[in-house]
A = this chain, B = another copy of it.
Amino acid sequence: MGNMKVHELSRGLWEHEPSLSLACNPLRTHNSNTLSSFHLKTFITPKPTPTKLASSDQQPHSPQVDMQAGAGGTRWSPTQEQIGILEMMYRGGMRTPNAQQIEQITMQLGKYGKIEGKNVFYWFQNHKARERQKQKRNSLVLNSPPITTITLNTRVPPKPLEDGPYKRKCRSWSFEDIEEESGSSSSFKEEETRTLVLFPLHPEGR
């Protein structure tokens, strides 16, 4: 049953040039083809890797490798330097770095602590979004239009229909997958291996 020809899939090639360019990209006019469009997608699968013994000792302190924060496996916890550089880039105009740029950045920031490309991607996404929120809030405060909202409704609101497709209430339907929860008490296991798959996005700007 398990014949997976997982062969290709792994063709990610990166020809990253050493020169890092924190180039700001022009804001896309959103109607034209800017070629630095990109996206980021990941998916991961826990690999079985049965033969993986817990041999990978977690030496409490590896001399050289400074696994900053993200050591064991929770979320990335950026260092001050990393944040600083990222903010600098942001201020420089970078908003949605493309793959190459992310690669570069990741590599650069890797000098200050463990980091992955996705962290960089997410950072920009989040930072951008949150700056926007902040801006919006501020502008609202400034205007503070004296408005009074009166809402009379003469009937019940539209009723979120059966599934609740509207308004995102909860994932009533998302389903997860297969594996049953068998691993109960053996809380100690070694790290699992993951399978990463990347997908190319279309080269052209959207």
Contacts and interface: CB of A to CB of B under 8 A. Distances in A.
16 contacts: A4-B18, A9-B72, A12-B198, A15-B183, A17-B178, A23-B177, A30-B170, A36-B177, A39-B42, A43-B99, A72-B177, A96-B175, A137-B163, A139-B162, A177-B192, A191-B203
Contact of A175 (B60, B68, B93): B93
Taken together, the copies of this chain in the complex come to 2
Interface string A119-138: 00100000000111111111
A16 B179 contact: yes
Given A135-B162, A145-B159, A204-B73, A191 B43 contact: no
A176 B25 contact: yes
A107 B107 CA distance: 32
Range class of the A interface residue count: 35 or more
A115 to B, nearest CB: 11
A60 to B, nearest CB: 7
A22 to B, nearest CB: 10
A203 B191 CA distance: 10
